[in-house]
Amino acid sequence: MPAIYLEAAVVVLGIVLMLMEAFVDKADKSFIGKIGIVGLAVIFLGLFMVEGPKDSNAHWAIWSFYAVDPTALFYKGFALITTIIVLIMSLDYRGVIQHYMGADQEKPQAGLGEFLYLPLFTCAGLMWMASAKDIVSIFVSLELVTISFYILVAFLRRNVGSLEAGVKYLILGALSTGFLVYGLTWLFGLSGETGLAEIAAELGNEESPMNAHPQALLFALALVIVALGFKVAAVPFQIWVPDVYQGAPTPITAFLSVGSKAAGFVVGYRIIEPFITSDAAPQLVTLILAISGATILLGNLAAVPQTNFKRMLAYSSISHAGFLLLALGCARAAGDDVKVEGVMALYLSGYLAMTLITFHVMCLVRDQLGGEEITTYNGLSKRSPFLAGMLLIAMVSLAGVPFTAGFFGKFYVFLLAMQSRFYVIIAVAVIGVGAGFYYYLKVVKAMYWEEADDDRKVTVPPLAKGALIALAIIIFVLGVYPSPILNFFS
Amino acid sequence: MVTLNHYLFVSGLLFTLGLTGVMLRRSLIIIFMSLEMMLSAANLSLVAFSRFNLVDGLPNYNGQAFVFFIITVAAAEVAVGLAIIVALFRARRTTNVDDITAMKY
C-alpha cells in the first residue's frame, strides 16, 4: 500500500465524522471522538505495511513531493499517537467545552462534535509534514496544520482567554508564514529548484548562484529559521507561546506543544541539515547555537516564577525546544554511532509521553476542580493518588532524573554537544537543567506536602487511565532502553 | 530594461512595508492586511525568479506553480482569520490590539 494512503485515510475519516456529526441524530456527541480514536488506531497499524516508490525513477508524480524514509514513518506514527491521546483528553474535557460553547437545554452538547473531528485534519497535516521534501509540499502541509490550529485555539468562543489566544496565534502564525514563504522564495531563486534534495545538490555545483552569493543564501536560511523558530517556540520568537498555551483549550495546548513542535523540527531538520553539513553557510551553526542557548536559558528561568501551571509548562516547552535545537546544531560533528535524527526522535518521544501525561492530568483537574493554578494541585495525592503518581512520573521525567525518558533525551543531546566541543553552550544548558529541577518539583511539593482546601475527589475514567498508564510505561522503557529509537534511523 | 534586481527591490520594499505595518499598526484588520502584503511580496519575487531563471529558453514554471499554492492558502488563512477577528469583536467590541490584554507575563 503506498504510504500516501495513510494521510488520505485520515482525511476521509475526518470528513466522514464531520458528516456524522451533522446527520446522525444522537444526543451524545462523544461517539465521534470514540470512532476517531478507533479509526486512528487502525490507521496506525497501517503504518507497518506501507511502501515507498518501487525505484528512484517512479513515474507517479507524487513521489517527488513525498518522502518515505524512517524519519517520515517515525513522525507519522508520532502524529497519530499524539492525536489519539488528544482525542481521549478532549473527551475528558467536554464539560469545559460545553460550558464555553453556550450549551443549553435545547443543545446540551453544542460544539463538542466539531472539537472532536477537527484534530484529525491537523493530524493529516502533521503526517504530511513528516514526509514533505519539496518546498511546495512543506508550505502547504505546514499551513494545513497552522490553519486548523487557528480554529482549535480560538474554539471556546465565549471565553475571552481562548479568543485572545486565537488572535495572537493567528497574527504571529501568519507573520511566520510570511517569513517562511519569503525565505523559500529566495531558496528557489538561488537554486532554481523546489525539491530539497535538488537544492542540496546545487550546493555541490561551483557555478550555482547559491555558492556565488553566500549572503543571499544566508538571508534565505535566516528567514526560514525565523519562521521555524516561531513554530517550535525558540527565543526570540517565543513571545506568543505563554499566552497561547494559557488561553487555548488544554487538549489543544497539548497538541500544539507536542505535535506542532515535532513537525516543526522534522521540517527544520530536512531543510537545514544539508546546509549545516556543508561549507556554504558557516555562520549558520553559530546562529542556531545562539538561538538554542538563549532558548534554554529564557525558557527555564522564566518558568521559575510562574504560578499558573499551564503557563509554566509553556516556558518548559520553550526550554525543551532549546535542547532540540542544540541537537540540530550538532549535526556536523555527529558521528555514525549517535545520529542527530535518532537523538531528536528519542528526545521528542520522551517529551511526547511526559507532556501528554501532564496535560491529561490537567484536563481532568480543570474539568472536575475548575482551576489551572499550581495551588489547585495542593493535596492532589489525597484527591486522587493515581493522578498524583502519574504527574509525579511526568514531572520527574521532565526534570531529567535518571531511569526516565527525559534523562536519556538530555544525556544524548549533551553527548552530541561534547563531541562537537560546544562547551559554552553546555554550561548554559546545565544552568537550565538546574533551574528545571526547581520548578518541576514545585508541583510535586504542592501535590504531596500541601493540604487541599476541601475533600473533593477527582475520578479518572477507564479510557484515560489506560492512556496514562501506557504513556508512563513509555517513559520508563525509554528511560532504561533507548536503543530501539536510536537504531531506527541507521 | 527592467532586470531581476528591479523586481527583487520592489518585492523587498513590499515585504518591509508589510512587516512595518504588522509591527506599528494597532488595528487587527490593518495588521492582517499587512500580512497579506508580505505574502504578495513573496509572490512577486517568485514570479520574477521564475521569469529570469530560464530553463531551455522557457521560464522555470515551478515557481509560478508555487505562487498558485500561496494564493490559495492565503485565501484559506483570510477566511479563518477574519472569522476569528469577528468573534473577538463580538465578545470584546474592539479590534485594537492594545485592548487585548487579558493575559500578561
pLDDT of A146-194, one tens digit each? 999 999 999 998 888 899 999 999 999 999 999 999 999 999 999 888 9
* Dihedral over Cα of B50, B52, B53, B54: its sign: positive
| Interface touch B81/A174, C-beta < 8 Å | yes
Which residue is it, cell 475526518? Answer: A14
| Interface touch A167/B85, C-beta < 8 Å | yes
For the beta carbon of residue A59, count every other beta carbon within 10 angstroms: 8
Distance CA A386, CA A360 (A): 13
- Asked if residue A427 is part of any domain, the answer here is yes
In 3D space, the residue among A302, A456, A461 whose CA is nearest the CA of residue A378 turns out to be A456
Distance CA A394, CA A356 (A): 9
**Can the peptide bond before residue A282 be classed as cis, meaning omega within 30 degrees of 0?**
no
Least CB-CB distance to B18: which of A154, A178, A246? A178
| Interface touch B92/A163, C-beta < 8 Å | yes
Least CB-CB distance to B100: which of A167, A184, A186? A167
- Asked if residue A305 is part of any domain, the answer here is yes
Average pLDDT over residues A110-121: 90
Distance CA A332, CA A277 (A): 5
In 3D space, the residue among A465, A469, A457 whose CA is nearest the CA of residue A379 turns out to be A457
| Interface touch A192/B60, C-beta < 8 Å | yes
- Closest-CA distance, B89 to chain A, in angstroms, reads 10
Share of chain A above pLDDT 70, in %: 98
User: Which residue of chain B has the CA closest to A176?
Assistant: B35
- pTM score above 0.80: yes
In 3D space, the residue among B46, B39, B62 whose CA is nearest the CA of residue A195 turns out to be B62
CB B7 within 8 A of CB B48: yes
Per-residue pLDDT reduced to its tens digit, A241-268: 999 999 999 999 999 999 889 989 999 9
User: Which residue of chain B has the CA closest to A193?
Assistant: B62
- Asked if residue A19 is part of any domain, the answer here is no
Chain A window 409-448: which residues touch B at a Cβ cutoff of 8 Å?
A: none
Q: What is the CATH topology of the domain spanning B4-92?
A: Helix Hairpins (1.10.287)
- Kindly state the cell numbers that stand for A486: 536510536
Share of chain B above pLDDT 70, in %: 98
Least CB-CB distance to A150: which of B66, B69, B80? B80
CB A381 within 8 A of CB A329: no
The range of the structural domain enclosing residue A404 comes to 280-490
- Asked if residue A227 is part of any domain, the answer here is no
pLDDT band for A58, please (50, 70, 90 cuts): low
Average pLDDT over residues A71-91: 95
ipTM reported for the complex, 2 dp: 0.96
Confidence at residue A335, expressed as pLDDT on a 0 to 100 scale? 66
- pLDDT at position A8 over 90: yes
| Interface touch B42/A182, C-beta < 8 Å | yes
In 3D space, the residue among A296, A311, A336 whose CA is nearest the CA of residue A244 turns out to be A311
Confidence at residue A437, expressed as pLDDT on a 0 to 100 scale? 93
Distance CA B11, CA B8 (A): 5
Q: How many domains does chain A have?
A: 1
Which residue is it, cell 475519516? Answer: A13
In 3D space, the residue among A138, A136, A126, A154 whose CA is nearest the CA of residue A43 turns out to be A126
Question: Could you give the dihedral angle defined by the CA atoms of residues A329, A332, A338 and A342, in that order, rounded to the nearest 10 degrees?
Answer: 50
Please give the radius of gyration of chain B, using alpha carbons only, rounded to the nearest integer.
18
- Asked if residue A239 is part of any domain, the answer here is no
Least CB-CB distance to A194: which of B62, B80, B91? B62
- pLDDT at position A56 over 70: no
Distance CA A375, CA A10 (A): 40
Distance CA A16, CA A22 (A): 10
Confidence at residue A205, expressed as pLDDT on a 0 to 100 scale? 83
User: Which residue of chain B has the CA closest to A185?
Assistant: B46
| Interface touch B32/A186, C-beta < 8 Å | no
Average pLDDT score, chain A: 91
User: Which residue of chain B has the CA closest to A141?
Assistant: B73
- pLDDT at position B104 over 70: no
- Asked if residue A22 is part of any domain, the answer here is no
CB A357 within 8 A of CB A474: no
- pLDDT at position A280 over 80: no
DSSP secondary structure string for all residues of A77-125: HHHHHHHHHHHHHHHHTHHHHHHHTT--SS-TTTTHHHHHHHHHHHHHH
Confidence at residue A317, expressed as pLDDT on a 0 to 100 scale? 95
The DSSP bridge partners found for residue A134 are A195
pLDDT band for B14, please (50, 70, 90 cuts): very high
| Interface touch A177/B28, C-beta < 8 Å | no
Highest mean pLDDT among A118-127, A256-265, A452-461: A118-127
Alpha carbons within 13 A on the beta-carbon side of A277: 15
In 3D space, the residue among A311, A332, A313, A310 whose CA is nearest the CA of residue A321 turns out to be A313
Average pLDDT over residues A310-332: 93
Contacts of B31 in chain A (CB under 8 A): 171
The DSSP bridge partners found for residue B55 are B58
Q: Which residues of A22-58 are buried (b: 16+ CB within 10 A; e: fewer)?
A: eeeeeeebeebbebbbebbeebbeeeeebebbeeeee
| Interface touch A175/B80, C-beta < 8 Å | no
3-state class percentages of chain B: helix first, strand second, coil last, to nearest 5: 75, 5, 20
Q: Which residues of A215-237 are buried (b: 16+ CB within 10 A; e: fewer)?
A: ebbbebbbbbbbbbbbbbbbbeb
- pLDDT at position A109 over 90: no
- pLDDT at position B105 over 70: no
Chain B window 16-45: which residues touch A at a Cβ cutoff of 8 Å?
A: 18-19, 22, 28, 31-32, 35, 38-39, 41-42, 45
pLDDT band for A98, please (50, 70, 90 cuts): confident
Alpha carbons within 13 A on the beta-carbon side of A155: 27
Q: What angle do CA B24, B25, B28 make, to 5 degrees?
A: 135
For the beta carbon of residue A487, count every other beta carbon within 10 angstroms: 11
Q: What angle do CA A219, A138, A490 make, to 5 degrees?
A: 95
- pLDDT at position B93 over 90: no
- Closest-CA distance, A409 to chain B, in angstroms, reads 29
- Closest-CA distance, B23 to chain A, in angstroms, reads 10
- The reply to whether A246 touches chain B by the CB within 8 Å rule is yes
CB B49 within 8 A of CB B4: yes
Residue type, A481: Y
| Interface touch A182/B70, C-beta < 8 Å | no
Residue A290 or B103, more confident? A290
Alpha carbons within 13 A on the beta-carbon side of A184: 30
Average pLDDT over residues A452-474: 92
Domain boundaries defined on chain B: 4-92
